[in-house]
Amino acid sequence: MPRTLPTTEDLRTRARAALDHVGVTLDDPAGDVLHARTPLTGENLFPVAATTPAAAEEALAAAHQAFLAWRSTPAPQRGELVRRLGELLREHQEDLADLVTIEAGKIRSEALGEVQEMIDICDFAVGLSRQLYGRTIASERPGHRLAETWHPLGVVGVISAFNFPCAVWSWNTAVALACGDTVVWKPSELTPLISLACARLLERAAEDVGAPDGVHRLLIGDRAVGERLVDDPRVALVSATGSTRMGREVGPRVAARFGRSLLELGGNNAAIVTPSADLDLAVRGIVFAAAGTAGQRCTTLRRLIAHRDIADTLVARLTAAYARLPVGDPFDEATLVGPLISSAALDRMQEAVARAQAEGGKVLAGGGRRLADVAPDAAYVEPVVVRVGAQTGVVREETFAPILYVLTYDTLEEAIALHNDVPQGLSSSIFTRDQAEAELFLSAEGSDCGIANVNIGTSGAEIGGAFGGEKETGGGRESGSDAWRAYMRSATNTVNYSGRLALAQNVNFL
Ligand code: NAD
């Protein structure tokens, strides 16, 4: 097991080098600051200037002004900006991954994977810039053409969470820019450095292709800065990713001004394991989904619903795998589980485990704190498996930490009912070799989530599909498929080329 950690000074040097490579210079900030911090040691890295109210107003005005030109730029030309951004992201994949690890604590392969997702969505959006199709519809009147046209929407406000500090920005930004929108981004206050790096690369891309300067703006700060996006009528769409608590505040405020919102909120994802499942495959899929990213993905597997006949065998294999999980320095190639984002997150995890025990659950593996002697301000913890007799209160909540609750079932109908009986509806999976079971799970009577998988865990989506979930997860869809439509407005056009005025539904008038 790794026993050492980089020092905060090592991490400062590495972060400064990555920022320098992408072209960000950190000046000594005057006025309001927030502190970039690393969960690897739990210590502060650098003070970063927070966006003042006047600068936020300037950013919104610039983004709005730029939209007026950008909306009329042909979409394939808009795609050129995204293509250039993708090239710069490729060039700086290692630098950006360093910043993701330093600020969000992701292990190396997951940090590189997050940057890869940004590159992939840029490729997708470049293609999309030539495919913003509308339909032609059969008109009921002779000599008439009925068609649907898609137009750019306006300024898109992107609010993002700490755990995908740059991929979520890119899903929104690459697609929004191709769609003719401009973007103002309010990243998590926990990840300012990676945000500065991404914003600088997009600024460079805009310079390289001659796009208007205001196509993108970055606002650094806490939720009060995010609230400016929520309340400003110039922001046509607020795309907000974070906790259900945040969505509950943001959604109604945007709706009150008749703005649009796209909400990507918390999940409480489950996997059903049936008696026919390939247990080797299931164990690997479950451990990655439940313990990977230290349980800090919105799609993390939090509930395992195992058939009674295989539950004991499965749990024994899982606990054996958990006992071998290397927890520690995420820069160490051997590590699979990095730190939690903060000691507050560790407190919430420990409270949830204590509640689960009070509600009748039994801890089968994990829970011990690691590296507290080396880094008392960091939060390294062994992922936990808790066997529970019923889906009690704590099991129905999202605790953003690596806790896997194990439930058992007798019939698949009962398993699906348990699966769906939580307020959230993001991701789900079934492990089975029985096609009828898989099809039932994917049917209208099956999983009620936005993502439903077979023989693969709940996390690790590809950008080609639309991403998002139902119920308290917020209902938004981002990334691939036709999620782009949320970033545009449609107009229905009726063109009369008949030379006669024919009213619909045979109405006579004059
Ligand atoms: P959070 O809700 O604390 O913060 C998310 C963002 O919202 C931050 O930028 C924060 O400053 C901002 N914010 C908070 N309250 C706000 C308000 N009232 N008005 C405007 N902005 C506000 O979430 P977090 O701890 O950073 O991230 C973890 C949560 O995000 C988990 O619940 C996770 O499931 C969820 N998440 C969901 C998805 C998804 O796609 N569904 C993806 C990633 C994370």
- Exposure pattern of 206-235 as b/e (b: 16+ CB <10 Å)? beebebbebbbbbbbbeeebbbbbbebebb
Q: Which atom of ligand 1 is nearest to the CA of 162?
A: 26
Q: Which atom of ligand 1 is nearest to the CA of 298?
A: 34
Q: Amino acid identity of 435?
A: Q
Cβ 300 under 6 angstroms from ligand 1: no
Identify any residues that bridge with 47 across adjacent strands, giving them in sequence order: 35
Which ipTM value was assigned to this complex?
0.98
Report the interhelical angle of 93-104 vs 108-128 (nearest 10°). Answer: 120
> Residue 208: what pLDDT?
98
Query: Which residues are CB-neighbours of 44 under 8 A, at least 6 positions away?
Result: 8, 35, 36, 37
> Residue 228: what pLDDT?
97
- Are 486 and 417 part of one and the same domain? no
- Are 28 and 156 part of one and the same domain? yes
Can you read off the two tokens belonging to residue 396? 């129905």
- Are 61 and 48 part of one and the same domain? yes
Query: Which residues are CB-neighbours of 19 under 8 A, at least 6 positions away?
Result: 25, 26, 95, 99, 193, 196, 197
Cβ 223 under 6 angstroms from ligand 1: yes
In contact, 459 and 297? CB cutoff 8 Å:
yes
Containing 36, the helix (H) or strand (E) segment is strand 33-38
- Are 371 and 384 part of one and the same domain? yes
Asked whether residue 502 is assigned to any structural domain, the reply reads: no
List the CATH number of the domain containing 336: 3.40.309.10
- Are 251 and 317 part of one and the same domain? no
Asked whether residue 464 is assigned to any structural domain, the reply reads: no
The 8-class DSSP code of residue 243 comes to: -
Q: Is 15 exposed, middle or buried (0-12, 13-18, 19+ CB in 10 A)?
A: buried
Asked whether residue 496 is assigned to any structural domain, the reply reads: no
Q: Is 106 exposed, middle or buried (0-12, 13-18, 19+ CB in 10 A)?
A: buried
Asked whether residue 463 is assigned to any structural domain, the reply reads: no
Query: Which residues are CB-neighbours of 507 under 8 A, at least 6 positions away?
Result: none
User: What is the number of structural domains in the chain?
Assistant: 2
d(CA 213, CA 463): 28
The catalytic position among 110, 264, 398, 437 is 264
Active site residue 437: no
- Are 306 and 281 part of one and the same domain? yes
Report the interhelical angle of 167-178 vs 75-91 (nearest 10°). Answer: 150
Residues with pLDDT less than 70, the chain: 1-3
Cα–chain-centroid distance for residue 3?
A: 31
d(CA 197, CA 206): 14
Asked whether residue 503 is assigned to any structural domain, the reply reads: no
> Residue 450: what pLDDT?
98
> Residue 66: what pLDDT?
98
- Are 225 and 278 part of one and the same domain? no
- Are 256 and 298 part of one and the same domain? no
d(CA 57, CA 211): 21
Q: How far is the CA of 413 from the centre of ligand 1 (A)?
A: 33
Q: Helix %, strand %, coil % for the chain, to 5?
A: 40, 20, 35
Asked whether residue 319 is assigned to any structural domain, the reply reads: yes
Q: Is 370 exposed, middle or buried (0-12, 13-18, 19+ CB in 10 A)?
A: buried
In contact, 473 and 450? CB cutoff 8 Å:
yes
Cα–chain-centroid distance for residue 358?
A: 32
- Are 393 and 483 part of one and the same domain? no
SS3 assignment for 404-447? EEEEEECCHHHHHHHHHCCCEECEEEEECCCHHHHHHHHCCCCC
Report the interhelical angle of 75-91 vs 108-128 (nearest 10°). Answer: 160
List the CATH number of the domain containing 251: 3.40.605.10
d(CA 443, CA 388): 28
Q: Which residue from 110, 230, 238, 241 has its CB within 8 A of the most atoms of ligand 1, so it is best to mutate?
A: 241
Nearest residue to 102 via CA among 9, 206, 33, 27? 9
- Are 88 and 63 part of one and the same domain? yes
Cβ 426 under 6 angstroms from ligand 1: yes
Q: Which residue from 184, 246, 257, 301 has its CB within 8 A of the most atoms of ligand 1, so it is best to mutate?
A: 246
Range of the domain at 389: 269-454
> Residue 3: what pLDDT?
65
Containing 147, the helix (H) or strand (E) segment is strand 144-152
Cβ 182 under 6 angstroms from ligand 1: no
- Are 94 and 49 part of one and the same domain? yes
Cβ 227 under 6 angstroms from ligand 1: yes
Asked whether residue 507 is assigned to any structural domain, the reply reads: no
> Residue 28: what pLDDT?
85
Can you read off the two tokens belonging to residue 281? 């495959």
Identify any residues that bridge with 374 across adjacent strands, giving them in sequence order: none
Neighbours of 98 (CB within 10 A): 26
Asked whether residue 31 is assigned to any structural domain, the reply reads: yes
> Residue 30: what pLDDT?
84
Model pLDDT for residues 407-453, shown as the tens digit of each residue: 999 999 999 999 999 999 999 999 999 999 999 999 999 999 999 99
> Residue 207: what pLDDT?
98
- Are 178 and 216 part of one and the same domain? yes
